[in-house]
């Protein structure tokens, strides 16, 4: 179970106006602004749940994922995941979680993917038997037979993303964080990734937390949606509840695509 | 405690990581070839330069010419073990571009992981490059080539101090990597660190050539515990009990630098901000 209570995190950003004189002034006197990336965030996620975490760029989605995976230490608040505080018990905590950052790669660039997998096997100390079973399952479901013997640099984005997802599941984590896993993928790869995530959640009861800008991801994967904007949680509910919210503001939700619904939500909360 | 159960197994994680970096390093054959030719040229130029000095006044020379030739050739052969400028751009990029997010999602100590990685990177380079240079230098006529160490003790002492000196270099470079957590751009610290180390470790001129007053101080610094010690032990310039004393100082610096690096890493990770996205 994931319990997050009143988490806040502030970043300091240096700002100045354009131009030579401004740049010169900033040499001696730098002005900082504090940006509240996370502002009193609280939610609870049960085991086996699949949750979509949405919000415009810069809303705090990735920061939340980073706090939950133990990378970022918040300024305030508590977080308890299966009895552990992620940033305090980082090494124990990360054994049980899998993370995919859609915009980064965890595969070694110049060597075949399978070498990266074997390194992960040793780093997570996966038993030989478990590794073999997991690898077989992932290779079959994600269709990776030929791909894993290719160096990562020669894979297409879709192929690489499938490998990234496989890499994050080799150690059978109980919780899977997916940070924009379908970013930049073509239609076929997107569908394959979605189908796989659904299956994984069903068969292994893996808790999945997914951030995305692709509302079709949300529509096909999650029942529960958490909407975040300017560091605050604005809504926590099902897609139906979101439709209702939109209708109260005078629009007919049935006629709108899911993208339009979310866009009107962003407008309503003035976070876009 | 749950953690202890895993401790005895840590070695396998690190070995596997070492193997990975080592394999990846062996892929760059063209770089190795060009490195070898550069180092031949550099070695020959160095010899010619010192020969001119030596012919002018052999008495002003703190080492024999043969010892100096061995020093230069070993320096070229094991360049990748000792040169501070061999830093991994990938590690800097990991910190500045936010790739570190993945590294922090692994159940492994970050400092240890990068330490092993740097060792493997340097060793894979050295393996590809040292033999051609050593063989070439062995066939050069005396006193221009590389001679055998004066006695077996010097040979053993060389191996011991080589390993220790290598660890000092890696531990020092870890500090340069870690500093990136605080500065966002590694370039400045990198340039200063490289030039300081290059000079104070005996990379530009062997330390015995420095004036005595300055030398006394420089010899105590961690930089003198890098290539300076093994190269001079090999050529017999440092011998007998001095070898042990120098090795002791090297060990001290290994421990001190690793302790410092780990402490700074702990502080850095508490305030780490993963950049972008």
Q: How many Cβ pairs closer than 8 A exist between chain A and B?
A: 86
In the structure, what pLDDT confidence band is assigned to residue B276 with cuts at 50, 70 and 90? very low
- H helix intervals, chain A: 20-28, 61-68, 90-95, 113-123, 128-142, 157-169, 187-204, 215-221, 239-248, 258-268
Q: Is position A17 within any domain? A: no
Tell me what pLDDT residue B9 has. 59
B20 touches chain A (CB under 8 A): yes
B213 touches chain A (CB under 8 A): no
Q: Is position A144 within any domain? A: yes
Q: What is the pLDDT of residues B144-179, one digit of tens each?
A: 888 888 889 999 999 999 999 999 999 999 999 998
- Report the DSSP pairing between strands A50-54 and A224-229: parallel
Contact A99, A179 (CB under 8 A): yes
- Low-confidence winner among A16-20, A67-71, B22-26, B171-175 (lowest mean pLDDT): A16-20
For A243-252, what is the mean pLDDT? 74
**Is the Cβ pair A11, B98 closer than 8 Å?**
no
- The number of distinct structural domains making up chain A is 1
For B259-272, what is the mean pLDDT? 88
Tell me what pLDDT residue B6 has. 46
Q: Is position A247 within any domain? A: yes
B98 touches chain A (CB under 8 A): yes
The alpha-carbon gap from B13 to the nearest alpha carbon of chain A, in Å, equals 5
| Cβ contacts of B24 on chain A, cutoff 8 Å | 108, 110-111
**Token duo for residue A68:** 């939950």
In this structure, what are the phi and psi dihedrals at residue B109, rounded to the nearest 5 degrees?
A: -70, 125
Contact A98, A204 (CB under 8 A): no
**Is the Cβ pair A94, B106 closer than 8 Å?**
yes
For all residues of chain A together, what is the average pLDDT? 88
Contact B142, B47 (CB under 8 A): no
Q: Over 50: is that where the pLDDT of B3 sits?
A: no
In this structure, what are the phi and psi dihedrals at residue B229, rounded to the nearest 5 degrees?
A: -70, -60
Q: Is position A136 within any domain? A: yes
Q: Is position A19 within any domain? A: no
Distance CA B19, CA B232 (A): 31
Tell me what pLDDT residue A56 has. 85
pTM of this prediction?
Answer: 0.85
Q: Is position A130 within any domain? A: yes
**Is the Cβ pair B20, A106 closer than 8 Å?**
no
For A41-57, what is the mean pLDDT? 92
- H helix intervals, chain B: 2-7, 10-26, 29-56, 65-77, 79-82, 89-97, 100-104, 110-138, 152-183, 187-200, 212-218, 228-234, 241-270
B104 touches chain A (CB under 8 A): yes
For residue A260, count other CB atoms closer than 10 A to its CB.
Answer: 14
Q: Residue A220 sits in a domain of what CATH number? A: 3.40.50.300
For residue B11, count other CB atoms closer than 10 A to its CB.
Answer: 9
In the structure, what pLDDT confidence band is assigned to residue B239 with cuts at 50, 70 and 90? confident
**Is the Cβ pair B3, A92 closer than 8 Å?**
yes
Q: Give the residue carrying structure tokens 């010097």.
A: B154
- Smallest Cβ–Cβ distance between A122 and the set B3, B16, B270 belongs to B16
The ranges assigned to domains in chain B are 11-270
Look at A11 and A128; give whichever has higher pLDDT. A128
Length of chain B: 277
Q: Is position A189 within any domain? A: yes
Tell me what pLDDT residue B2 has. 41
**Is the Cβ pair A91, B13 closer than 8 Å?**
no
Q: What is the pLDDT of residues B35-55, one digit of tens each?
A: 889 888 989 999 999 898 888
- Low-confidence winner among A51-65, A249-263, B130-144, B153-167 (lowest mean pLDDT): A249-263
Q: Over 80: is that where the pLDDT of A13 sits?
A: no
Interface pTM, i.e. ipTM: 0.82
**Domain, as residue range, for A224:** 45-268
- Smallest Cβ–Cβ distance between B27 and the set A69, A110, A118 belongs to A110
- Smallest Cβ–Cβ distance between B6 and the set A62, A105, A125 belongs to A125
In the structure, what pLDDT confidence band is assigned to residue B273 with cuts at 50, 70 and 90? low
- Smallest Cβ–Cβ distance between B274 and the set A71, A92, A111 belongs to A71
Q: Over 90: is that where the pLDDT of A272 sits?
A: no
The alpha-carbon gap from A98 to the nearest alpha carbon of chain B, in Å, equals 8
HSE-up (13 A, CA, CB side) for residue B3: 9
Distance CA A115, CA A121 (A): 10
| Cβ contacts of B23 on chain A, cutoff 8 Å | 111, 115
In this structure, what are the phi and psi dihedrals at residue A82, rounded to the nearest 5 degrees?
A: 50, 45
In the structure, what pLDDT confidence band is assigned to residue A219 with cuts at 50, 70 and 90? confident
Contact B137, B146 (CB under 8 A): yes
Contact B206, B61 (CB under 8 A): no
């Amino acid at each position: 179970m994931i319990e997050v209570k009143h988490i806040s995190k502030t970043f300091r950003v240096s700002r100045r106006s354009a131009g030579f004189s401004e740049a010169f002034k900033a040499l001696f006197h730098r002005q900082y602004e504090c940006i509240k990336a996370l502002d009193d965030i609280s939610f609870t996620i049960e085991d086996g749940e699949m949750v979509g975490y949405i919000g415009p760029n810069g809303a705090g989605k990735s920061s939340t994922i980073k706090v939950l995976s133990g990378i970022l230490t918040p300024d305030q608040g508590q977080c308890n995941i299966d009895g552990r505080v992620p940033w305090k018990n980082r090494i124990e905590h990360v054994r049980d979680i899998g993370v995919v950052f859609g915009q980064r790669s965890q595969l070694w660039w110049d060597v075949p993917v399978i070498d990266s997998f074997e390194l992960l096997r040793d780093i997570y100390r996966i038993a030989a038997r478990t590794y073999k079973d997991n690898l077989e399952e992932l290779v079959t479901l994600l269709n990776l037979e030929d791909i894993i013997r290719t160096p990562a640099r020669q894979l297409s984005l879709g192929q690489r993303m499938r490998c990234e997802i496989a890499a994050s599941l080799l150690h059978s984590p109980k919780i899977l964080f997916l940070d924009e896993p379908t970013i930049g993928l073509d239609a076929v790869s997107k569908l394959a990734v979605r189908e796989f995530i659904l299956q994984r959640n069903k068969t292994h009861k893996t808790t999945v937390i997914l951030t995305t800008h692709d509302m079709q991801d949300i529509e096909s994967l999650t029942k529960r949606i958490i909407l975040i904007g300017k560091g605050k949680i604005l809504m926590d509910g099902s897609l139906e509840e979101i439709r209702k919210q939109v209708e109260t503001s005078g629009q007919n939700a049935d006629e709108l695509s899911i993208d339009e619904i979310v866009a009107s939500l962003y407008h309503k909360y003035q976070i876009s | 405690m749950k953690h202890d159960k895993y401790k005895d197994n840590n070695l396998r994680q690190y070995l596997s990581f070492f193997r990975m970096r080592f394999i990846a390093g062996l892929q760059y054959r063209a770089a190795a070839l060009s490195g070898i030719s550069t180092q031949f040229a550099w070695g020959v130029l160095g010899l010619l330069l010192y020969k001119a000095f030596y012919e002018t006044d052999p008495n002003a020379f703190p080492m024999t010419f043969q010892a100096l030739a061995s020093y230069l050739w070993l320096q070229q052969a094991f360049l990748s073990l000792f040169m501070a400028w061999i830093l991994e751009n990938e590690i800097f990029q990991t910190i500045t571009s936010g790739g570190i997010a993945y590294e922090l999602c692994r159940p492994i100590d970050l400092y240890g992981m990068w330490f092993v990685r740097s060792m493997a990177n340097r060793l894979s380079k050295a393996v590809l490059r040292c033999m051609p240079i050593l063989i070439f230098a062995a066939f050069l006529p005396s006193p221009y080539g590389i001679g055998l160490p004066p006695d077996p003790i010097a040979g053993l002492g060389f191996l011991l101090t080589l390993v220790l000196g290598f660890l000092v270099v890696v531990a020092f470079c870890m500090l340069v990597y870690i500093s990136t957590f605080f500065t966002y751009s590694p370039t400045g610290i990198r340039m200063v660190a490289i030039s300081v180390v290059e000079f104070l470790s005996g990379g530009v001129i062997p330390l015995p050539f420095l004036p005595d007053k300055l030398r006394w101080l420089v010899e105590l610094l961690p930089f003198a515990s890098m290539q300076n010690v093994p190269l001079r032990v090999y050529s017999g310039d440092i011998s007998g009990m001095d070898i042990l004393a120098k090795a002791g100082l090297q060990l001290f610096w290994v421990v001190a630098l690793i302790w410092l690096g780990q402490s700074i890493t702990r502080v850095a990770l508490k305030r780490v901000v993963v950049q972008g996205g």
